[in-house]
Amino acid sequence: MAPLEHPGLEAMTEATAPACVEIERLGRHYGLPAKPIVALQDVSLTVREGEFLSLLGPSGCGKSTLLRCIAGLDKPTTGAVRVRGKPLSGPPAGIGMVFQRDVLLDWRTILDNVLISAEFQGRGRKENIGRARALLERFGLGGFADRRPWELSGGMRQRAAICRALLCDPDLLLMDEPFGALDAMTRDDLNVELSRLVQLGGRTVIFVTHSIAEAVYLSDRVAVMSRSPGRVAEVFEIDLPRPRPLSIRETPEFGRHVGQIRSLFSRLGLVREE
């Protein structure tokens, strides 16, 4: 059975970490050329190898569209996306993606839903079943491998979706607001599990959210996006130490980061200040 831990990169400073994803003057327009709907405009951003970067902003600012462009599922109208120096012509190798909805197949068991990733990549079931079971165990689903998705809660289904994305040990993990529909306690629990996963090192994660606290808790950097059209307004470094227990959210340092980002939201007119 392959180990759960990603092989990882040697510890690197921000100055020496190579680029994993480079986004250059990206634009994405929909509709007729004469009257386009501009979802993204002039977006430039570099994501370093091994970092956790959150795309943070209100609904409708183009976060999911940008993530789909990075995943090779949507083609930019202008500009370019490069993954490890190579322009995208489709989904890059070594990528895993977790969507807003779990998209599990109700007629397959949880174990078989996780193994879909191996099937899509032409890998054998026998070679991957041990790792699939180990992932389910790690995410608290070891006793549910033979259940169907409709027998599980929303949080459990999303855990299964994360296991599916991790099965083939992706170098680049893209997560499109995966916890947005969950209750607060389940969301906190999955935040902690995801933070532990980050601790293993080496995997680059790009995470879409509209929660400032969630972005600060999980991230090495937070890219705040404005809307109409979507742009990167500012990128914040999050210098909180890891590992990060949930209690770190009660510290002055955590509050300082949240306050800085909220202040930007206010200046951009994204939140109301009473």
In a domain, 7, yes or no: no
Strands (E), the chain: 19-30, 37-48, 52-56, 78-83, 86-87, 95-98, 172-176, 204-209, 221-226, 231-237
In a domain, 30, yes or no: yes
Phi, psi of 3 (to 5 degrees): -65, 150
In a domain, 3, yes or no: no
Domain limits for position 239: 19-267
Phi, psi of 148 (to 5 degrees): -95, 155
What gap in Å lies between CA 113 and CA 144, rounded to an integer? Answer: 12
Of the candidates 200, 139, 192, 145, the residue with the CA atom closest to the CA atom of residue 171: 200
Q: What is the pLDDT of residue 166?
A: 92
Phi, psi of 121 (to 5 degrees): -95, 10
In a domain, 8, yes or no: no
In a domain, 12, yes or no: no
Residue type, 145: A
Number of domains making up the chain: 1
In a domain, 60, yes or no: yes
In a domain, 4, yes or no: no
Provide the residue-wise pLDDT of the chain in tens; the chain has 274 residues: 444 444 444 444 455 679 999 999 999 998 877 788 899 999 999 999 999 999 999 888 999 999 999 999 999 999 999 999 999 888 888 899 998 889 999 999 999 999 998 888 777 788 899 999 999 998 889 999 999 999 999 889 999 999 999 998 899 999 999 988 788 898 998 899 889 887 776 789 999 999 999 999 999 999 999 988 899 999 999 999 999 999 999 999 999 999 999 999 999 887 665 5
Q: What is the pLDDT of residue 54?
A: 97
In a domain, 6, yes or no: no
Two structure tokens written together for 230: 């979507």
Query: What is the CATH classification number for the domain harbouring 121?
Result: 3.40.50.300
